[in-house]
Structure 1
Amino acid sequence: MYHTLSTKLVEDVYIIAVNRPDKMNALNQTVMQELGLAVDEVYTRKDIKSAILTGTGDKAFVAGADIGEFLKLSAAEGADLAKKGHVIFQRIAECPKPFIAAVNGFALGGGCELAMACHFRIASENARFGQPEVNLGLIPGYGGTQRLTQLVGKGKAIELMMTGDMLSAEEAQTWGLVNHVVKQEELLDKAKALLQKIHKKAPLAIARVVKCANAALDKDVDGYETEIAEFAACFATKDLQEGAAAFIEKRPARFTGE
């Protein structure tokens, strides 16, 4: 179905791998278009409960953008490119189903931005993160200036973007960019184990957690009011009735997403 992605459904987890190992899984326009389609699958397919985003091989998650495509772009075409990337990455950030980045190797430039769009990140020990766009006379264009600042704080984000330095997996975890660091061979198993734990929770509540967390970062939205509205909406769901009954009866809840 895809030329630049490898996808497979493992039980109810959709694994999406950028599949250009000869190019260090660099993002080009075809990859971005196909990523958009794969994200749409996560939204619409009922057999998908969550998604893992990764890269083929053990050298790179996504080592950046395909710079050769930039050479002939005008400012207007650059704006169009950035807007398309923002739409796709924001769809990942707002997805009501869990979206984890399993970062294997280099996550640089657009690759770091892609990882940051996911709900959280797990890294292999050989992972490296960075926004080196200043080395090319550029800045991050797929939301990186905003998401990096939100995740690690203004001072650290500006330093990383100004210097173009890379962070090791351990440094990224210390800075708050990464949730977990594991051995390369344990990366997907760790991601799947976390998702299986999340799958046992109420799916409507999971979606509302995503919405409220995003609201906390949206200057045009009152995050507290969003929380009140989403909290209240839970009381109209069968999942809350099931969860409360299961708690009282001391048994596992059987959530249906209703």
Structure 2
Amino acid sequence: MSYQNILTETKQRIHYITINRESKLNALNAATLAELHTALVAAFADEQIGGLIITGAGTKAFVAGADILGFPALDAAGGTQLAREGQTQVFDLIANGPKPVIAAVNGFALGGGLELAMACHIRVASDNAKMGLPELTLGLIPGYGGTQRLPQLIGKGKAMEMILTSDMLTADQALQCGLVNNVTTPEGLLAKAEEILGKILQRSPMAVKAAITAVNASGSADGFEQEIAAFGQCFGTADMKEGVDAFLNKRKPVFTGK
């Protein structure tokens, strides 16, 4: 499919989605979010794709936030709808997706850009990256999951400080507080993301999906029950039987995703 605001490519079971609005620092507008939704749904449904990497075009920005040009025309109802549609169509879709999604954060990840990265399951940042949620400088708060996902990643106190002050973190600071998993050079960013995803793709796709579901339930009232249920369901898969047989017979498993 042809897109106007994103680029997509699949190589060796890895699907790459690049936000391609470099002149706008890859800011998220309605059209870009709509294309992201379409691309994500297609990738999750494609059996040839094992995982995804999301990044931004150029070296200056992953995504420098939402495109605020349309904000003045919105009232309270319009703002609510904007947040709800973005959450369900893109951010929650990524977080709850059946395949691993890694954010390769190149440059600025601000506002909706950081929220996009946080919705991904793993984050790798270039050493020139800067991350923050500056919505309060606009008289707003984060609306794409920032107030929920940031405390889960770095703790309530640090998240409160970041959101209320609108201060940015450097890549090294983000690594220290657990906001990102790895920091590397801009030149090595995609290679590091590919390295991590390559390891995941050696695991059972069924188990990967189950693990994502269980980890996402962490801290919820039924988190342990969801883990138990997902664990039990794995026993009904051919992948589990293959994995156990391979272990017992000291060979490398060949998972089929069934």
Shared fold by TM > 0.5?
yes
2:167 counterpart of 1:165: yes
Determine if the alignment matches structure 1 residue 73 to structure 2 residue 78.
no
Whole-Å separation in 1 of the counterparts to 2:42 and 2:53? 13
**Deviation string, structure 1 residues 196-254 (Cα, Å, up to 9, x no partner):** 1111111100001000011114x4x5011111111111111111111111111111100
Deviations 1:138-186 (CA, angstroms, capped at 9, x unpaired)? 1000011000011111110010001100000000011110000001000
CA distance in structure 2 between the aligned counterparts of 1:235 and 1:72, rounded to whole angstroms: 53
Q: Deviations over 1:31-66 (max 9, x none)?
A: 111111111012111111100010000100000111
In the alignment, what sits opposite 1:36? 37
Distance 2:42 2:186 in 1: 27
C-alpha RMSD over aligned residues:
0.8
Whole-angstrom distance in 2 between the partners of 1:46 and 1:94? 17
- Within a 5 Å distance, the mapping from 1:130-169 to structure 2 comes to 130-169=132-171
Equivalent residue runs for 1:11-30 within 5 Å: 11-30=12-31
Instruction: Give the CA deviation at 1:30.
Output: 0.5
* 1:94 corresponds to: 96
Task: Give distance in 2, aligned partners of 1:39 and 1:69.
Answer: 24
Give the equivalent residue in structure 1 for 2:110.
Answer: 108
Structure 2 stretches of 5 or more lacking a match?
none
Q: Which runs of 5+ in 1 are unaligned?
A: none
SS of structure 1 residue aligned to 2:216: helix
Q: Equivalents in 2 of 1:175, 1:71: separation in Å? A: 35
Deviations 1:75-100 (A, max 9, x none): 10100000011112001001111100
Identity of aligned residues (%): 52
Q: Over residues 91-129 of structure 1, what are the superposed CA-to-partner deviations in whole Å (9 max), with x where a residue is unaligned?
A: 100111110000000000000000000001000001110
Structure 1 counterpart of 2:128: 126
Q: What TM-score do the two structures reach when normalised by structure 2?
A: 0.98
